[in-house]
Structure 1
Amino acid sequence: MTSAVRPQGPTAPLPFFVYGTLRPGEVNHDLFLRGRTSAEEPARLPDAVLYDGPGYPYAVHRPGSTVVGELITPEPGAYPELLASLDLLEEYEGPGRPGNLYDRTAREVLRPDGTAVRAWVYLAAELLARDLSASGTEIPGGDWFGR
């Protein structure tokens, strides 16, 4: 059983779990998140593995593995614009769309104290995962900063 949930109807205002170029200190964090968050804290995504792709990372579902990242809580007034910006960055056009580079799914992530939090996560869409997993390099320990 997977912990992924496809959004239905209106988009729930969830925090985001980021694991690559959107993490603090990375270029896309400064471009998309700086000044638009109310909290940023370490977190882990269970049952996922991280790959080093062609200039960007991508995560795929894999039971027993963990991806390291941050839980990003947007400023309440920034949420709609931030969601649209991140969907555009991640080439997410909607559930099940064939043009998706990533799929946005709601997953449980874990804070350092073990508390589970529901968050949006961009996982590689099926086509990307299939094409790149054969040639991509798995990042040991699931931490983009440790590559």
Structure 2
Amino acid sequence: MTGRQLPFFVYGTLRPGERNHDLLLRGRTTAERPALLPGAVLYEGPGYPYALDADDPAATVTGEAVTAAPDEYGRLLAVLDRLEEYGGPGHPANLYERVSREVLLEDGTPVRAWVYVAAERVARRLRAGGRTVDGGDWHEAVSRR
């Protein structure tokens, strides 16, 4: 893990308007900006999505770059790791891996951020028979249902 306090790229239940946003992020952030994760594809999960690296470099996942309030960063990092069932790099029980990736803010500015992507065992299953989220925007896909 880096010592820098990276923002988080959120693309599912942590986005504004979704169930975990108010519960876990409200009052703990200083900025929430629309952003894209390039080179990634989104898969449906059981009530939440999974981002995976894409073979198509033009594929993108839509979300927000969330900057934690400095005095909340450590607590928020621990809370999000627990929510995402992330026990550390490569842990065999991980549902997600927390990785540092470049995301693009809506004005095109690149920003390094933490992104929770599907752990390899989950990614293999999704690639073999999962359903992708058209357009890479889970919030939009859920609101159309």
Query: Using the alignment, how far apart are the partners of 1:12 and 1:102 within structure 2?
Result: 21
For 1:1-147, list aligned pairs within 5 A: 7=1, 10-62=2-54, 63-147=57-141
Query: Using the alignment, how far apart are the partners of 2:17 and 2:108 within structure 1?
Result: 24
SS of residue in 1 equivalent to 2:41: strand
SS of residue in 2 equivalent to 1:129: helix
Deviation string 1:4-50 (CA, Å, 9 cap, x unpaired) is xxx3xx54310000000000010111111011000001000000001
Q: Identity rate of aligned residues, in percent?
A: 64
Query: Using the alignment, how far apart are the partners of 1:18 and 1:134 within structure 2?
Result: 25
Query: Using the alignment, how far apart are the partners of 1:98 and 1:88 within structure 2?
Result: 15
Alignment: residue pair count: 139
Q: Which runs of 4+ in 1 moved over 4 A?
A: none
Measure how far apart 1:146 and its partner are. 2.1
Q: Unaligned 5+ residue runs, structure 1?
A: 1-6
Please name the residue that 1:4 is paired with.
none
- Structure in which a larger fraction of residues adopt strand: 1
CA RMSD in angstroms, aligned pairs only: 1.1
> Structure 1 counterpart of 2:11, which letter?
Y
Query: Using the alignment, how far apart are the partners of 1:42 and 1:115 within structure 2?
Result: 11
> Structure 1 counterpart of 2:107, which letter?
D
Deviation string 1:48-94 (CA, Å, 9 cap, x unpaired) is 00111111100000133100000000000000000000000000011
TM-score computed with the length of structure 1 as normaliser: 0.91
SS of residue in 1 equivalent to 2:59: strand
Q: Unaligned 5+ residue runs, structure 2?
A: none
> Structure 1 counterpart of 2:43, which letter?
Y
Measure how far apart 1:123 and its partner are. 0.2
Change (3 A) 1:11 1:136: farther
